[in-house]
Structure 1
Amino acid sequence: MMASGLLRPGPSLVRGTRLDPAHGVARRLIPLLLLVLVPLVLLGWLAMQTVHAVQERLEQSGLIEEYQLVGPRGPACLRMVIVVDVSGSMSEFAVPRDRALDRLFTWLGTNLRSGDELAVVDFAEEAATRVPATDYRGARLTGPAGAVDGAGTLLLPPVTEVARLGATDCDVELMFISDALITDLPNTADDGRRLLTNNGVHGIHLLVPGDDMEISDQWRVAFPAAPPIRFDGNDADETALTLGRAVAALTGQRLERRPEPTNT
């Protein structure tokens, strides 16, 4: 007969205390993994977007005359105001830009519809209207309007100049060709929206003539829905085609290459 007390009860098999260290490690690892994985996912998404943009630019290369707008449009007519930055930092792009604008005007003649309007406003420290708001079919590009350049490039003068173009029932869309080195950008997105609304503007867009141009962070703060669209501003063909893409975005249509004529 065994003496009592020689058999002692072992540790309980249902207790979870021995698993606590592993659980603690897991709890510490999960936030670390998230810190690593989330940026990787975002970087992967950004890389895909960049590749997509590059592929689109490669696929849509050539002359604007080779393309057309395709697809339905909404009921609203369009008043497209091309706002041209004529400050000193943009002077090297002036010649190819104006050549591209001249070709765009001709191209628009077969791609917009009755009731659409076109205007061009130059700006630097001050703003001046180069082409008044008119039926796009009658619009003609003239020389620079003589907008005064000075110590800074300002946003308020061209926006208020657009308001002076006259009343319209069309959606007013501003297409800036600029490096966005603008010193009076709104402080917040609400301020940006208020500025546009108070001057009868439906939307704003930014075309930047350089892949390596640094854009002010304040532009993204003021107009988060208008990210910069980059292109080679020294190439008149690419400038014109970029403007065509922007027009397609404004009308909600697609920019597609014209079908090759068939030999009969």
Structure 2
Amino acid sequence: MMASGLLRPGPSLVRGARLNPAHGIARRLIPLLLLVMVPLVLLGWFAVQTVHAVQEGMEQSGRIEEYQLVGPRGPACLRIVIVVDVSGSMSEFALPRDRALERLFTWLGTNLRTGDELAVVDFAAEAATRVPATDYRAARLTGPAGVVDGVDTLLQPPVTEVARLGATDCDVELMFISDALITDLPDTADDGRRFLTTTGMHGIHLLVPGEDMEISDQWQVAFPAAPPIRFDGNDADETALTLGRTVAALTGQRLERRPEPTTT
């Protein structure tokens, strides 16, 4: 039989016994951490779904005019801002890109819904608004905004310019047409998430006009949920269709061919 001297009483659990103060602090911090983390996780999840939806539709070909958006949408309206890199490294794609944008604007006139807005911001070392945020039915593409190029291509100027478009109740989605050779990208993924949330952006997407084009490794460090969506930037048809696929992913709809007209 074990000696009774080896048995010792445990801590008292009588009323009024003190709990470890660290436990109380942890209980207060957990809700705050959840309040911060849940929106960031959702933001990353929606961005990943957008990229997957665009990539799954890459087998589609033809002209954007042959397609339409199909399926229900959620309640949120969209402010779609197309952010165009006009730096020297993107100059060879300028003509097919602008032809594609003209066709996209016409196509969106019958594929978005009341409350949606379009805008175009050009950027390099500086940024300027080419098309101000306006109802998609009234949006018209104009010539380049005359942005000054420089040694560096910067992210902050176009984001500041987007903020100048004015307040909106819509989700703001940025569609960058760029090689992402941008020198002031956030240092880490956490910095990238904070950058989006503090600037009021719902999502950011990168469309790269070249299958073999070298892009900045730092983009995927800063925005890991927005990997590059590549396409042939010398082909206006493919450029327009890639833009259309991205819009379909933003609305949560499908891009489907229009039915062939019936003949009698």
Aligned to 2:192: 192
1:150 CA drift (Å): 0.2
Aligned to 2:58: 57
Between 1 and 2, higher relative CO (CA 8 Å, sep ≥ 6) is seen in 2
Q: CA RMSD in A?
A: 1.4
Q: 2:170 and 2:57 mapped to 1: Cα distance?
A: 30
1:57 CA drift (Å): 2.7
Q: Does the alignment pair 1:167 with 2:167?
A: yes
- SS of the residue 2:186 aligns to: coil
Q: 1:106 and 1:173 mapped to 2: Cα distance?
A: 19
**Aligned AA (2:84):** V
Deviations 1:76-112 (A, max 9, x none): 0000000000000000000000000000000000100
Aligned to 1:67: 67
Q: Mapping of 1:75-224 within 5 angstroms? A: 75-224=75-224
Gapped runs of 5+ residues in structure 2? 1-51
Give the TM-score normalised by structure 2: 0.78
Deviations 1:16-40 (A, max 9, x none): xxxxxxxxxxxxxxxxxxxxxxxxx
**Aligned AA (1:215):** I
Aligned length: 212
Q: 1:215 and 1:62 mapped to 2: Cα distance?
A: 27
Q: Mapping of 1:215-254 within 5 angstroms? A: 215-254=215-254
- SS of the residue 2:58 aligns to: helix
Q: Mapping of 1:1-20 within 5 angstroms? A: none
Q: 1:74 and 1:63 mapped to 2: Cα distance?
A: 27
Give the TM-score normalised by structure 1: 0.78
Q: 1:146 and 1:201 mapped to 2: Cα distance?
A: 25
- SS of the residue 1:143 aligns to: coil
- SS of the residue 2:157 aligns to: helix
**Which portions of structure 1, spanning 4 or more consecutive aligned residues, are displaced by more than 2 angstroms?**
55-58
**Aligned AA (2:58):** R
1:159 CA drift (Å): 0.8
Contact 1:125 1:152 in 2 (8 A): yes
Paired-residue identity, %:
87
Gapped runs of 5+ residues in structure 1? 1-49
Deviations 1:173-219 (A, max 9, x none): 00000011111100011111111222211100000000001222211
**Aligned AA (2:90):** M
**Aligned AA (1:152):** D
